[in-house]
Amino acid sequence: MELVQGGDFLTFLRTEGARLRMKTLLQMVGDAAAGMEYLESKGCIHRDLAARNCLVTEKNVLKISDFGMSREEEDGIYAASGGLRQVPVKWTAPEALNYGRYSSESDVWSFGILLWETFSLGASPYPNLSNQQTREFVEKGGRLPCPELCPDAVFRLMEQCWAYEPGQRPSFSAIYQELQSIRKRHR
């Protein structure tokens, strides 16, 4: 196992986030997108992508971690059984919550929440809602608001990640390319 000096990304955002430049935040989420693009190319579904499950190296490189819930599936879809015992509801796509159907597209939904966590500098998503209230809110079309420091282009990407229909969400390759483009504009 690799030693990472920066610790988990959520704690890092909460303690160091205010000191980071926008370009650095964009690079870090780009690192996460690249990691997820790789997993997607290997048919691996993470199922628990969140800031708490990413690690920061001493050079602020972000690495995907915690593969405890991950699955590798040939058809790209994993159907969970056994209920919602330890599902991180506020990070999980509607089709995964409603039908237990996990895919790369459900990881994209979670990536949208990771983006929101990043640009809110570690805030908790849906802070005033219970898990059940969050599910109902999302089912009715509700989504998280744009974080105060978030570039408009990144928020538009978040909204694409939160498309209700999985097939309407961008691939991790497209997300990575868009984040690279946004980062270049923030020089």
Q: Are 46 and 67 in contact (CB under 8 A)?
A: yes
Could you give the residue numbers annotated as active site?
48
- Give the residue from 100, 124, 104 showing the smallest Cα distance to 166: 104
- Output the CA–CA distances (angstroms, integers) from residue 169 to 16, 99, 126, 161, in the order listed: 31, 18, 21, 5
- Output the CA–CA distances (angstroms, integers) from residue 20 to 55, 105, 143, 174, in the order listed: 16, 29, 26, 25
Q: Are 103 and 128 in contact (CB under 8 A)?
A: no
Rounded CA gap, 145 and 149, in Å?
12
The residue assigned the tokens 């964009």 is 26
